[in-house]
A and B are shown apart, each in its own frame.
Chain A
Amino acid sequence: MLDGQVAIEGGAPVITKAATLEVPHAKSIPKPVEAKKAVFTEADLPKIDGRDALRQIAEGNEPKNTENAGAKEKPVLTSQLAESEQHYIDQNKKMIGLEGRYNDDRTKADYLQKQIETFAQNSGLQHESMPELEDKSFDRDNQKAIMERVQTHIDRLFNSEKGRLNPEKQRMVTEQTRRYLELITQAQGEGDLPQNLDAQTVLRLIEDNVWTLAYQDRVASENLLGDHGIRHIVDYNIQACEAIGDELIRNGQQVKAIDRLIQHQIMIDHDIGYATDTVRNAINRGSFGEDRGHNALAAKYVSEKIKLPDDSMRKVFSDEQLKIIHEGILHHDSSEINFHIGDMSNEARQDNILSAIHIADNTHAFEDKLPELLYTYPDSLRIMRLMKTAGELGDAEIFSGLQGQLVEGIQANPNLSKDDREALVHASQSLNPESYKFSVGRICGNKPEFVLNNEGKISITVQESSIHQEVVGLYGQQSYDQLKKFVADLTGKEKKDVDLNQERIVSSNGKLEIRTKTGERRAGQEELTDYQQQIDKLISDRSFQGFIIGDGTENMGDARLSSIQLNLQQELKNIPEGSETRQQIIQRLEQIKTERKTNLQKYLTEKH
């Protein structure tokens, strides 16, 4: 992991000369790089043009810092960051095609930034200076004015016909943006950001962040990958980092505003790799797997972005802070956890920042981390179940009829904006008979809770979602599969060795403990989210029940018929050509398919 960043004694920044820094992360940067334990190096000091400074002083103003940290291009820093990305790629050769995606022009920062700007422009937005901020340093007074300006962007992008129509996301981004601005102010007060930070630059950074979030959310809505939009980035990951920060403080560990601010910035950019054309287009055409290594693409975006003229991020953050941001993005899905309590060193704080990132990103899987289509249009789950039947019958006509039904439902939904509808229709069109396999298992957990003890051991308690069993069963999937996978990833165990019936699962280094509440200890009905309630309503529907379990007389129900069909197809593989049993199986298979088709058509007619 990256070593120390902020050295503060008595609340004042300690300015040290650049020194040698050991390998920051075993998996990232192969060679020693500069500055151990340095928070601010000389290179990070505000660089103010002499004449400007004199003019500002003459006008009674403190010289304004428009060139903090990296206002000028920093080839040493950016080459170190690029080197760590290359190292990641070299270490992950098994991620087929990653190198090609990484070197693709469409993953360059200027290309992606142009796309983000065009996206915002389509909502009628552009970056505009605020005259009242001219020549002003960022402070509490103009914090409010900046928030008001950015609020118009948030409203436009998240709750209007010109963007997404989603008050919930509008609220999430509003709260996160307020918090981000407050953290900048606090970090200034703690000496970790310059007092004379240019207010226009802060405005620009916040607008960039909001646009980047909105763009990622839009792209995430188009496909059936797990959630990589606002719910994931803001509502879960950032909130989880904040909760872990609170736990560190509760145990007496120092957590500074800059630490939390860095975490916000990491999370805002960590999944931008999914939004690059190379990944987005591949996933949208159903070529799953091409998202592997998306973190390297996100890291590339940041390391190249800070080289672009007028980039706001490098004007706000120092080199060391940017390194941590980059490291956090590049290895956001790492399962390396190493919390420190009672250790105020920069190294300890940095480990804590990154450990929280890893915990947050990995544990969202414990929540219902669903594609936007399932959240926004829950009936898609029912349709996906029917598509499973159509797929097993090999009936393309019924399948496309179901797809058409889904598209019609989305188009007719008055609660969606034009842009929402376009994205969801796109996602609907990418459905296939096996889509449920990648979505259903995600409905697995509820409300992970984090508790740290005074030895730095973190305990994560996750409840099994109260509808997991039902929904997974509905699709004939093995229960808890997804939950087991994530527990295995986090604890370094093999999935097959994960026993969720144990109350506690402890990682090999003892730094992490997962407590599961499954079965009778799982969440109760009263804890169902709105989304889960809708799913519960679906599985309680009499006609849907009848389709699935049958009527107890002639109709066995689609679930049993599906099992029988799949069994006979398996048996057929082992039975020699020309045998009587083979003929029997073939005939029976035809009967079953006919029966299933009749049942499906009957259900659809009744439902219609």
Chain B
Amino acid sequence: MANNKLSQLVENEMNQAPIFKAEPDTPENQIANSRKAVLRGVFNPMATYILGKSLIKKGEVLTPENILRTIINEPVFKANQKLVGVLINRFGLNPKSPKEMRWLEEEALKISLEGNSHPLNILAQEVTKSLSEDLRKILTQIIF
């Protein structure tokens, strides 16, 4: 798959989940959009990895839960399986929008404040590190 097409695919897939999709840049949307940007920052490396390896099933939406579950099943990240499992249990994510939005509100601030010690940031960094040359370039192209 051409690099450009893959970066576009990541963008499109992420935009299907309300928790990632930025709304028009109006004063009332500013805070929610800034939280979503933080969340996308964490999940973009994983989405790039997943789509780069075509691990997503047709019609499956890239919600945080789906992304984490897919990452668990990847042999490369076996060492992190426990961590990912904890994340899923801890946040109990599901695609239902209201719950996700509450999670976003609470968790984005933790991600921002805790930096490299937050489990999701740790995972994002590990995934970034393990990306192939091509996928690193695509991640740069997508950028958060």
Contacts of B79 in A (CB 8 A): none
Of all chain B residues, the one with the shortest Cβ separation from A554 is: B116
With known contacts A496-B24, A525-B4, A567–B140 Cβ distance under 8 A:
no
Is A520's CB under 8 angstroms from B8's CB? yes
Which residues of A549-608 are within 8 A (CB) of B?
A: 549-554, 556, 559-560, 563-564, 566-571, 573-574, 581, 584-585, 588, 591
With known contacts A525-B2, A545-B137, A552-B126, A559–B143 Cβ distance under 8 A:
yes
Central interface residue in B12, B30, B144, by most chain A CB within 10 Å: B144
Q: How far is the CB of A423 from chain B (nearest CB, A)?
A: 31
B115 within 8 A of A: yes
Which residues of A314-348 are within 8 A (CB) of B?
A: none
A537-552 to B contact mask, C-beta < 8 Å, 1/0? 0011000110011111
With known contacts A549-B143, A588-B113, A478–B129 Cβ distance under 8 A:
no
A476 within 8 A of B: yes
Is A571's CB under 8 angstroms from B8's CB? no
A519 within 8 A of B: yes
Q: Number of B interface residues, CB 8 Å?
A: 43
Q: Number of A interface residues, CB 8 Å?
A: 45
B121 within 8 A of A: yes
A503-547 to B contact mask, C-beta < 8 Å, 1/0? 000000000000000111010110000000000000110001100
Of all chain B residues, the one with the shortest Cβ separation from A471 is: B141
* Complex CA–CA separation, A413 to B7 (angstroms): 34
Is B109's CB under 8 angstroms from A469's CB? no
Is B4's CB under 8 angstroms from A549's CB? no
Which residues of B1-48 are within 8 A (CB) of A?
A: 2-5, 7-9, 11-12, 22, 24-25, 30-31, 34-35, 37-38, 40-42
Secondary structure dominating the interface of B: helix
A470 within 8 A of B: yes
Of all chain B residues, the one with the shortest Cβ separation from A571 is: B109
Is B34's CB under 8 angstroms from A469's CB? no
A524 touches which of B2, B25, B116, B121 (Cβ 8 Å) = B2
* Complex CA–CA separation, A525 to B5 (angstroms): 10
* Complex CA–CA separation, A584 to B114 (angstroms): 10
With known contacts A466-B4, A552-B126, A563–B113 Cβ distance under 8 A:
no
* Complex CA–CA separation, A550 to B127 (angstroms): 12
Is A522's CB under 8 angstroms from B24's CB? no
* Complex CA–CA separation, A175 to B30 (angstroms): 49
A474 within 8 A of B: yes
* Complex CA–CA separation, A591 to B4 (angstroms): 34
Is B141's CB under 8 angstroms from A520's CB? no
Q: How far is the CB of B102 from chain A (nearest CB, A)?
A: 16
B73 within 8 A of A: no
Contacts of A474 in B (CB 8 A): 141, 143
B125 within 8 A of A: yes
B69 within 8 A of A: no
A479 within 8 A of B: yes
A-to-B contact residues, CB < 8 Å: 466-467, 469-470, 473-474, 476, 478-479, 496, 518-520, 522, 524-525, 539-540, 544-545, 548-554, 556, 559-560, 563-564, 566-571, 573-574, 581, 584-585, 588, 591
Give 11 pairs: A residue, B residue, CB < 8 Å, sorted on A: A469-B11, A470-B143, A519-B5, A540-B137, A552-B129, A563-B41, A563-B144, A564-B41, A564-B111, A571-B31, A571-B112
